[in-house]
Amino acid sequence: MSTDDVFESRSADAALAASRALMGVVARSVSGALEVVTLPQFRVLVVLDGAGPLRMGVLGEAIGVLPSTLSRAIDRIVAAGWVRRTTKPANRREVLIELTMAGQNLVTNALEQRRDNIAQIMSDLSADQKSAIVAAFELFADAAGETPAEDLLVLGV
């Protein structure tokens, strides 16, 4: 095995180990939310958090589900108080789905927990190590490019 092959293998192994660690951070950050909503329901909340109120069709496209399936899911999370149906003032026939304060808090808490978990992990490192990790994350993110939102929604992020 050449030096380049060894380096490529080590690079891939290191990236896989880091991705597993980050997936653990994500899993821990949504675990509290998943005690009260399902992962598909949390995906709806995350989309609404990022996009604001959406029409049912647009929301369905964003999370990749059929309108009939989404309608039943929305009924359940409306009943639970995570979202509400509203209408546009300019067009009262157009129904929008929007987060309630409870839904907003659920998403915000998950994101804050994720940030706190990452900060805790980073707090154990020296200043030089933190700088190296930040630089590596930035380089990796730039090299990987922007991940389509629909790919991230599979995980509720």
Query: What pLDDT score does 93 carry?
Result: 82
Q: Tell me which residue has tokens 């090299």.
A: 143
Short-list 48, 27, 147, 144, CA closest to 99: 48
Q: Binning pLDDT at 50, 70 and 90, where does residue 30 land?
A: very high
Handedness of CA 130, 133, 139, 145 (dihedral sign): negative
Q: Which CATH architecture has domain 28-122?
A: Orthogonal Bundle (1.10)
Handedness of CA 41, 34, 112, 132 (dihedral sign): negative
Distance CA 73, CA 84 (A): 12
SS3 at position 99: strand
DSSP-assigned letters across all residues of 42-93: HHHHHHHHHH-SEEHHHHHHHHT--HHHHHHHHHHHHHTTSEEEEEETTEEE
Query: Number of helices (H) and strands (E), helices first, in the chain?
Result: 7, 3
pLDDT digits (tens, 9 = 90+) for 83-118: 999 988 788 888 899 999 999 999 999 999 999 999
> In the chain, where are the structural domains located?
28-122
